[in-house]
């Protein structure tokens, strides 16, 4: 039986909204999207994340526009235990919270999109004003990947579509066991289910 993988998205459940982390001393990083770039990051110094909208506190969320994965200590331990070679856990202080949180930075980029089995793909065209995106996907509906090309990784970003944060079924199950999640899981292997699984 093949391995299954899931695209982690924002769940449609009551939850707080956390801004993308920045330097603890204030301001923003020059590359706020770096937490989704699929690479090991240098020492950023102390970082913090403000709460943009108060709501039900969740143990695992995706922040702001850049959708950086932010996890409580309990959830971070899932990644630390099951995928130590796939992630970099960066301590982040969340506004008003004494508990420790971490940015879960996926450090691997895997070339495994199965374009022929995706429902619809949209490419950046040559008229796009940002030439650095040439050859990448603007968006993918019904995303499908080839699990045989995942190189044994449990957590990764996708080549040419780095916005997708992908986890293995083992990670998904452990996260659901931890509970209190603000994320959903859309399966990207096997037959199309058409809808993400919502978890609270």
pLDDT tens digits along 72-130: 999 999 999 999 999 999 999 999 999 999 999 999 999 999 999 999 999 887 555 56
- What are the backbone dihedrals phi and psi of residue 159, each rounded to the nearest 5 degrees, phi first? -60, 130
Read off the pLDDT of each residue in 18-28 and give the average, rounded to a whole number. Answer: 94
Is the predicted pLDDT of residue 50 greater than 80, yes or no?
Answer: yes
The pLDDT assigned to 130 comes to 63
The three-state secondary structure class of 175 is helix
Region of poorest pLDDT, from 51-65, 153-167, 181-195: 181-195
Q: Per DSSP, what are the bridge partners of residue 27? A: none
181 Ramachandran zone, left/alpha/beta (phi>0; psi -120 to 50): beta
Question: Is the entire prediction scored with pTM above 0.85?
Answer: yes
Strand 87-94 versus strand 51-53 pairing type: unpaired
């Amino acid at each position: 039986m093949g391995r299954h993988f899931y695209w982690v998205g924002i769940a449609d459940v009551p939850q707080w909204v956390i801004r993308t982390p920045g330097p603890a001393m204030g301001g923003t990083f020059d590359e706020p999207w770096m937490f989704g770039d699929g690479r090991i990051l240098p020492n950023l110094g102390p970082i913090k994340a403000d709460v943009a909208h108060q709501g039900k506190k969740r143990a695992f969320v995706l922040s702001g526009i850049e959708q950086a994965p932010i996890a409580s200590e309990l959830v971070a331990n899932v990644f630390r235990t099951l995928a130590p070679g796939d992630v970099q856990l960066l301590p982040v202080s969340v506004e008003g919270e004494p508990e420790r949180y971490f940015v879960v930075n996926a450090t691997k980029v895997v070339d495994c999109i199965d374009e022929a089995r995706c429902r619809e793909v949209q490419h950046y065209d040559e008229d796009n004003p940002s030439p650095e995106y040439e050859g990448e996907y603007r968006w993918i509906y019904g995303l499908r990947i080839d699990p045989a090309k995942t190189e044994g990784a449990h957590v990764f970003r996708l080549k040419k579509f780095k916005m997708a944060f992908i986890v293995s079924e083992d990670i998904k199950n452990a996260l659901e066991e931890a509970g209190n999640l603000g994320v959903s899981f859309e399966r990207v292997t096997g037959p199309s289910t058409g809808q993400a699984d919502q978890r609270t």
